[in-house]
Amino acid sequence: MRDQLNRAIHLKETPKRIISLVPSQTEILCDLGLEAYLIGVTKFCVHPHHIKTNVSVVGGTKQIHLDKIKVLQPDIILCNKEENSKDIVDACESICNVHVSDIYNINDSLELIEQYGCIFNRKKEASAILDIIKNELSSFEVFIKNKPTLKSVYFIWKNPWMIAGNNTFINDLLKINKFENSFSNEERYPEIKISKSTVNKSVEVVLLSSEPFPFKEFHKKELQDFYPNATIILVDGEMFSWFGSRLTKAFTYFESLRLNLQNNEL
């Protein structure tokens, strides 16, 4: 088999001892019925809510406890190109097979679910999740078709201010939502300056994510002077950035978000 970086993975049998170093991938595994095979997760794996109570925590996404991972004797470790560094991937490969995902858009996410279905012998379960996502997306595309395109900014961090730019999964979901990303000419997650000289009157919607930085209501007031004509809203960052089975719920959320925005209820 090959992962999403086209790296070969040699499996003699279906992996039974799994470590996931990515929260959204942990959620996919559980939704595929593989929770009993999870032996290690990160401290950021919060779905399902009880997972860290039942499974060993082996660090975060950027720093891992390699000794703890070795003791657990995994058959496979699941990583992500954006979330985990090359050093982490290399270190994990000294222990067992490593699968690395690489997600930029919806199709990449669907491909990952399909790959997991093959790797872990859960093709039927993966197919069911994929059908739900495709149906939800199709329904949302009908809903959003005649809605206006709104010029937007999506903030992910403060001190320094950072936004989601091009070549990100968030940017792909913004497009689907007909939120025109004002920073689509910037790559990945650039820092931006907020000052009197950067006041932008053309932005119509500013989205403040709940993660990785936990934006709150008072942050809206901080930004209003710099985006005087924008509606500034708090959004569920998991819906915009968690690729995988989270997409079964995301489009219902997006529809509600757009309706509330349309009715000035945010």
What pLDDT is recorded for position 197?
87
Tokens of 71: 């003791």
Domain shared by 115 and 48, yes or no = yes
What pLDDT score does 264 carry? 78
Sheet containing 38-41: order of strands = 56-57, 38-41, 18-20, 76-80, 97-101
Amino acid identity of 175? Answer: K
- Number of domains, the chain: 2
What is residue 46's predicted lDDT score, i.e. its pLDDT? 95
Same domain, 101 and 162: no
Does residue 139 lie within any of the structural domains? no
Q: Which pLDDT score is estimated for 89?
A: 97
Whether 170 is in a domain gets the answer: yes
Q: Are residues 164 and 98 in the same domain?
A: no
**29 and 110 share one domain:** yes
State the pairing for strand pair 150-157/179-181.
Answer: parallel
Examine the domain organization and report whether 31 and 123 are in the same domain. Answer: yes
pLDDT of residue 265: 64
Name 242's Cβ contacts closer than 8 Å, sequence gap at least 6. Answer: 23, 24, 27
Region 115-139: mean pLDDT is 98
In a domain, 136, yes or no: no
Considering the domain architecture, whether residues 117 and 189 belong to the same structural domain is answered as: no
Same domain, 32 and 119: yes
Same domain, 95 and 187: no
Q: What average pLDDT does range 220-242 have in this prediction?
A: 96
- Rounded to whole angstroms, the Cα distance separating 58 from 104 reads 26
Contacts of residue 236, defined as CB under 8 A and 6 or more positions apart, other chains included, come to 210, 253
Question: Do 27 and 114 sit in the same domain of this protein?
Answer: yes
Going by pLDDT thresholds of 50, 70 and 90, the confidence category of residue 266 is low
pLDDT average, residue stretch 253-257:
98
23 and 123 share a domain?
Answer: yes
Domain with residue 159: its CATH number is 3.40.50.1980
- Residue 123 in any domain: the answer is yes
Task: Say whether pLDDT at 121 is over 80.
Answer: yes
81 in any annotated domain: yes
Stretch 144-170: mean pLDDT, rounded? 97
Secondary structure of the chain in HEC code, one letter for each residue: CECCCCCECCCCCCCCCEEECCHHHHHHHHHCCCHHHEEEECCCCCCCCCHHHHCEECECCCCECHHHHHHHCCCEEEEECCCCCHHHHHHHHCCCEEEEECCCCHHHHHHHHHHHHHHCCCHHHHHHHHHHHHHHHHHHHHHHCCCCCEEEEEEEECCCCEECCECCHHHHHHHHCCEEECCCCCECCCECCCCHHHCCCCCCEEEEECCCCCCCHHHHHHHHCCCCCCEEEEECHHHHHCCCCCHHHHHHHHHHHHHHHHCCCC
pLDDT at 117: 98
Regarding whether 93 and 36 lie in a shared domain, the answer is yes
Q: Is 168 domain-assigned?
A: yes
pLDDT at res. 263: 86
Q: How far is CA 9 from CA 40, 44, 76, in A?
A: 20, 26, 10
pLDDT tens by residue, 82-111: 999 999 999 999 999 999 999 999 999 999
User: Domain containing 28: what range?
Assistant: 18-129
Task: Please indicate, yes or no, if residue 114 is contained in any of the structural domains.
Answer: yes
Residue at which a domain ends, from 96, 129, 162: 129
